[in-house]
Structure 1
Amino acid sequence: MTKAEKTKQYIIAQTATLFNKKGYAGTSLQDITTATGLTKGSIYGNFGGKDEVALAVFDYNISKVKGILRSEVAKHHTIKGKLMAYVDVYTHFPKFAFPDGGCPMLNTAVEADDTHPQLKQKARDAILRWKKSIETLIEKGMKNGEIVKPVDPEQMALTIMATIEGMIMIAGLTGKPQYRKTIMLSVSKMIEDLF
């Protein structure tokens, strides 16, 4: 890795929490220089501006989430186990190395919906990839006979995702982390009912 690549990675890693907590609009160039200890010239020497940093940070934060989910799902050999891995991860959210500040998809989607088309597109793409991964698991479960009840894979994937994202928002907004477990029991039941 070149020195420039290392510097870019450093900037991304140092500002990942900043953007995830304060959002795009709330993060200033001064915040970025303070978080990194670098000058504005150094930031602009590595990125075309705040937009480029924000987009790279979104990718970085999403890759952390995807890595956690991929790793936990891979530990299971049945479709039920793979789907229940989502329940385990989000029920025990604090034990995993999720980005500080909550779900980057949720945070970005809410903020960028009407203000930043590129970030909105990145959040949309991440949501659609997540939906597809859950849909694929459900389709495999139906094909191999593990899932015995007829179900619309897209509808089930969207319902699971919406419940998880709603849980993150409710637990964070109310400051009641115990709501994670309460709400994830509903996701667990949805999954159990498929088998």
Structure 2
Amino acid sequence: MARNPELTRQLIIDKALPIFNTKGYAAASISDITAATGITKGAIYGNFKNKDEVATAAFEQGVQIVTGEIAKRVRNEATAPAKLNSIVDFYEEYLKEPPIPGGCPVLNSSIEADDSLPFLRSKVIRSIALMKDSLIKIVNRGILEGQIKRDVDAEEFANFFYSTIEGVISLSRIEGDGRSFGFVKRFIQKQIKEISI
């Protein structure tokens, strides 16, 4: 067990993330986290005020993991269309081997936070806004660099792109295979090709 307070806090977050992401907020308990970490409830509450704070920290780390992986892919591509395609490829791989057990933390948390968890809902909304903003920047830069057609509405495309990806991830997980994702991937790739110069 980590004695350093920062290490203890990080251990709690690391172990809580897959618990919240697979079980959901309502089903996950502090007892689940004590079992996973091997530390007491007192140590958890010494680092976090309550379960809400643990869930928030776990969610934020999950988002950092996902966005960090996407950012790596995007940085490795030279053009806006290639960057957009790399994001689609990332999510296809994510379905097969998610870096976080349970799948996409934004999608999972948005379902639960929609009605009953206002403290988490605001974090989910901010994460979605940041993702869409990143997509808008990719498209706008592509327009400026002559890789994407000038008449493309970056905000409209970003909303279409992100909503379609998140929707098909949900559908594919329910269906238990990647067939739907394959159809949608081809459709999104056609859309990327259509807006490209």
Scaled to the shorter chain, the TM-score interval is over 0.9
What is the CA distance between 1:30 and its match in structure 2?
A: 1.3
Partners of 1:124 and 1:16 in 2: CA distance? 19
Matched, 1:156 2:195: no
Deviations 1:145-183, CA, capped at 9 Å, x for gaps: 211251111110000001100111001011122322222
Q: Distance in 1 between matches of 2:171 and 2:96?
A: 19
Displacement of 1:144 after TM fit? 1.9
Q: CA deviation at 1:74?
A: 0.4
Residue identity (%): 38
* CA displacement at 1:96 relative to structure 2: 5.8
TM-score for both structures, normalised by structure 2? 0.93
Offset, 1:66: 0.6
Aligned twin of 1:118: 119
How far did residue 123 of structure 1 move? 0.5
The answer for the alignment partner of 2:59 in structure 1 is: 58
Distance 1:107 1:127 in 2: 12
**2: CA distance, partners of 1:84 / 1:28:** 38
Q: Which runs of 5+ in 1 are unaligned?
A: none
> Structure 1: which 4+ aligned runs deviate by more than 3 Å?
94-97
The residue identity in structure 1 corresponding to 2:111 is: V
**What's 1:172 paired with?**
173
Letter in 1 for 2:8: T
Match status 1:16 vs 2:13: no
Q: 1:119-165: CA deviations, max 9, x gaps?
A: 10100000000000000111111122211251111110000001100
Q: How does 1:66-145 map to 2 (within 5 A)?
A: 66-94=67-95, 98-145=99-146
Q: Which runs of 5+ in 2 are unaligned?
A: none
Name the counterpart of 2:49: 48
